[in-house]
Amino acid sequence: MSYQAPTREQRFVLDHVAGIAELAADPRFAAAESDMVDAIVGGIGQFAQAQFAPLYRVGDTVGARLVDGQVRMPPGFADAYRAYVDNGWGTLSAPVEYGGQGLPVTLAAVALESLGGANMAFSLCPTLTVGAIEALVHHGSARQQATFLPHLSTGAWTGSMNLTEPQAGSDVGALRTTATPGGDGTWKIKGTKIFISFGDHDMTPNIVHLVLARTPDAPPGTKGISLFLVPKYRLDADGDPGALNDVRPVALEHKMGIHASPTCVLSFGDHDDCIGEMIGPLHGGMRAMFTMMNNARLNIGLQGVQAAEAATQKALAFAAERIQSGPIIRHPDVRRMLMRGRALAQAARALTYYAFGQLDRGSLGDEAAAARCALLTPLVKAYATDVGTEATSLGLQVHGGMGYIEETGAAQLYRDIRIAAIYEGTNGIQAADFVGRKLAGDGGAALNALIADIRAEATDEAALMALVDKVEAIARWSIAADGQDRLAGSYPLLTMTAVAVSGWLMARQHRIATAQRADTGEDAFLRAKQAVTRYYLDVIVPEAMGLAVAARAGAGALYALDDTDLAA
Ligand SMILES: Cc1cc2nc3c(=O)[nH]c(=O)nc-3n(C[C@H](O)[C@H](O)[C@H](O)COP(=O)(O)OP(=O)(O)OC[C@H]3O[C@@H](n4cnc5c(N)ncnc54)[C@H](O)[C@@H]3O)c2cc1C
């Protein structure tokens, strides 16, 4: 069965979790009125099903290829991408002054969810362009914005993010790519970046590479990094793509999944003629990059939602057809996997849309919402991608042996999503960010405000209240703990907190679905919403209590063996 965009569910979560109507009450987002939201949610769902979903398999089997120094996308991708641009789907949240529609990012997230549910590898391309737009909007000069944003806002040109080098992965500060002054205000870039998603392709007339590099005499580590814009084709006097810049893909990585996403080794300045321009101030690269990454991290969390949804849909269709001692959908253990998959997908969606809603409120000047979004970003990135991995594994298991055979597509979903816990800051790095910058950084203020809201709204959910009490106590311990002890418990604490926040949003949906059902009578969607949210609250929320021991065990047990004895 091919992917069906979950439009009713998306609309429900937009209304009751993200609070889209409240956002539309602000003049800046007035265009996001109800009919427009319906048109976007329904329209992108149909587009994704018609244009992106049919390319899912060919993207995997043919994949992107490097031919004569240029990446060739699999058949059909360039046409589908053109249709995406022509239909204006790239413009939703892009700035109005550069051809965008200026709508809430939350709505752009719904669009990305449907595109990625249909074809995760393909949707990574627009996801990266969003990051490039963000960096230019916040850090670009007026000229840079006027030159590049009109092309990026429509998706006519795409963006890429260039951080990683062989010796600089999580430790971005170890990067060695250099930028030297060209004497005319431009910079000459030299170095090799690895793992660059959509670092090259043949779908658009230009690509805007955002590159982190080190200027002469820059201080070591992250303090000495600056951000540069390097177009694949330099612009001529009219601002159109002209001569090829000195940047080229020298290899494509052979990957476990997302074969349609070209993961490039990019070489800059082989002929000492790679020309770029600085974005933002000298040595301001990390700040600018974080602007890109924060939004991108929420979008990668969204990939977990996409995969969990697509995998569970596929598993449900298979389970209804497959007969083994009766339809397998009736076996309790298969039921467990299907219910769990649905509950995880819905919880991750609620958490992610909620965070996007806070991001939009923050952009309207609501500082508490901005702080909440910052707190939630590592939770969304790590928990939603873990959910994606778990739900695709469950989906594969429901298929039995056929899940392990490529024809069903269950294996592809499982292979594709696995990267999401790794790129855009590994989930381990997210956990460190959560307990460090986000919790200890403000002494727990943002978390305490969130906990107060959860307690005020969901007092009658006993298991959830018990989990919230535990999260509060362990967070307090973590803030006061020694650095190693804090980091040792960071991942389990992140997961507990993410489940508590998701549980809160599931409890709200449960309450609303119950009330609406009482009003409207029989409705399959509301009945399913009630049952699935209840399952999350009654089964998955209590399960997270089991992480409490690991969350505050400290580092002692982890270092009981030294580095050598660990392998003995
Ligand atoms: C398919 C794919 C696409 C990618 N796309 C891009 C892209 O478009 N642009 C780009 O710049 N990069 C991209 N990357 C690179 C990606 O962001 C890195 O792989 C990732 O940041 C991890 O770096 P690393 O692979 O060097 O792992 P390492 O940093 O070596 O990490 C190895 C392990 O150690 C852990 N670890 C490392 N440091 C710490 C620490 N301080 N605390 C706790 N744990 C730690 C990690 O969590 C991980 O488990 C991509 C990678 C892949 C595979």
pLDDT digits (tens, 9 = 90+) for 237-269: 999 999 999 999 999 999 999 999 999 999 999
Closest C-alpha residue for ligand 1 atom 24: 169
Q: What is the pLDDT of residue 405?
A: 96
Checking if the pLDDT of 1 tops 80, the result is: no
> Strand 158-162 to strand 178-181: parallel, antiparallel, or no bridges (unpaired)?
unpaired
Q: How far apart are the C-alpha atoms of 51 and 47, rounded to whole Å? A: 6
Average pLDDT over residues 22-41: 98
Length of the chain: 568
Q: How far apart are the C-alpha atoms of 195 and 172, rounded to whole Å? A: 13
Q: What is the biggest distance separating any 2 CA atoms in the chain, rounded to whole angstroms? A: 77
Q: How far apart are the C-alpha atoms of 117 and 226, rounded to whole Å? A: 35
Orientation angle between helical segments 285-321 and 410-417, nearest 10 degrees: 160
Do 304 and 384 meet the contact criterion of CB atoms below 8 Å apart? yes
Confidence of residue 291 (pLDDT cuts 50, 70, 90): confident
Helix (H) or strand (E) holding 268: strand 263-268
Closest C-alpha residue for ligand 1 atom 48: 426
Residue of 113, 424, 461, 472 with catalytic role? 424
Q: Is 277 assigned a catalytic role? A: no
Say what the pTM is. Answer: 0.98
3-state secondary structure of 93: coil
Checking if the pLDDT of 292 tops 90, the result is: no
Closest C-alpha residue for ligand 1 atom 27: 169
Q: What is the pLDDT of residue 345?
A: 98
> Percent of the chain, pLDDT > 90?
97
The CA 441 to ligand 1 mean position distance, Å, reads 24
Q: What is the pLDDT of residue 17?
A: 98
Checking if the pLDDT of 509 tops 90, the result is: yes
265: nearest Cα among 279, 247, 287, 278? 247
Q: What is the pLDDT of residue 522?
A: 83
Closest C-alpha residue for ligand 1 atom 38: 170
Q: What is the pLDDT of residue 290?
A: 84
Closest C-alpha residue for ligand 1 atom 32: 170
Q: What is the pLDDT of residue 192?
A: 98
Do 175 and 215 meet the contact criterion of CB atoms below 8 Å apart? no
Residue type, 229: L
- What are the tens digits of pLDDT across the range 92-134? 999 999 999 999 999 999 999 999 999 999 999 999 999 999 9
Q: What is the pLDDT of residue 280?
A: 96
For ligand 1, which residues put their CB under 6 angstroms from it? 161-164, 169-170, 195-197, 255, 263, 419, 422-423, 426, 428-429, 432
Q: How far apart are the C-alpha atoms of 229 and 141, rounded to whole Å? A: 12
pLDDT, averaged across the chain: 97
The pick from 426, 558, 563 for probing ligand 1's pocket by mutation, whose C-beta has the most ligand atoms within 8 angstroms, reads: 426
The CA 478 to ligand 1 mean position distance, Å, reads 25
CA 193 to chain centre: 22
Do 305 and 498 meet the contact criterion of CB atoms below 8 Å apart? no
Determine the atom of ligand 1 nearest the C-alpha atom of 163.
Answer: 11
Residue 511 neighbours by CB under 8 Å, 6+ apart? none
How far, in Å, are 37, 46, 132, 392, 413 from residue 305 at the CA level? 20, 18, 23, 10, 12
Average pLDDT over residues 515-532: 94
Checking if the pLDDT of 166 tops 80, the result is: yes
Q: How far apart are the C-alpha atoms of 281 and 141, rounded to whole Å? A: 10
Determine the atom of ligand 1 nearest the C-alpha atom of 164.
Answer: 11
3-state secondary structure of 384: helix
